[in-house]
A = this chain, B = another copy of it.
């Protein structure tokens, strides 16, 4: 990683339309990140003809051949045994220092498991979390955990707040992101012990000034805070519920605009605004969930995305590599240690101490 040249390892075979959309995505990404190099891992027979059509991608790529790929429906335990799989070799490249980050649109469970075992968790972090950025009425919002941990305790939630803060600083460029803990009400006594204890720890921590308190489901799209912290079960459901609601409304609007002559004319008249709206809410422009808390940058692209979406996942990985996210989170870890001792003093040690 010298002279500002960064290498990302890319799983060519992950995702519903791989390797086609992967190479398309890299062609777009190569344009946006002229100093980036890509170590593209997968079936050379499928990749070579695609690179022949995308010269710009070809110039930035080194291909490493492997015939094996982890299927989408494979259990993580089985995936761990496929040492020659494209995803595994991409992750190995990060662990061995050949690449600073990895991007895959493949099997999420396998990526999580491999990343934890091969790239390893940062010292001081109990559980890595999956974070992503989404749209809100008041700008982009970071949410985590999105499903890496179905059950979380107080300590996990506090760690997620620390990592989410650093992620919002690094990728959104905010100087003091506001942080909210997702709950069923905003009053202090709402929720279970887990979220109430996490709120108490955060109020006494170095993040106190940024900690907004509890937020509710509707606060996500309202943009009440910059970082929404929750357990992986709730976060996964909330993310998909919000996406589902937006999709329902888009589908219904399409029917309005296509259902009558008046609707069709209306569409033409309102098109500039509607196009901006669509672009703004476009899931592709928010594609790329990041595994936080690992010794390397690991980005999961949606499996059903297209070249533009994959390119955005590469953007996220590049942002994190270029802005040295992991060095910064290592610096932040000293503060997490402080946080744990606060916890120990406040009777919360079992929840947030080691």
Contacts and interface: CB of A to CB of B under 8 A. Distances in A.
Interface stretch (A41-49, A57-65, A80-88, A267-275): A267-275
Contacts of A230: 237
Question: Most chain-B Cβ atoms within 10 A of its Cβ — which of A219, A244, A267?
Answer: A244
A236 interface: yes
Contacts of A20: none
The size class of the interface chain A forms with chain B is 35 or more
A226 to B, nearest CB: 16
Contacts of A137: 248, 251
Contacts of A250: 249
Interface in A183-214: 184, 187, 189, 191-192
A334 interface: no
Interface stretch (A258-266, A289-297, A344-352): A258-266
Given A220-B244, A244-B220, A262 B256 contact: no
Contacts of A266: 265-270
A239 interface: yes
A222 B273 CA distance: 26
B244 A219 contact: yes
A177 interface: no
Given A251-B137, A267-B266, A217 B232 contact: no
A2 to B, nearest CB: 41
Nearest to A258: B273
A217 B233 contact: no
Nearest to A182: B237
Contact of A192 (B233, B253, B259, B270): B233
B265 A269 contact: yes
A182 B135 CA distance: 24
A237 B277 contact: no
B249 A246 contact: yes
Contacts of A270: 256-257, 262-263, 266-267, 270
Contact of A184 (B73, B150, B249): B150
Given A137-B248, A217-B242, 6 more contacts: A184-B233, A217-B238, A218-B243, A245-B246, A246-B248, A262-B273
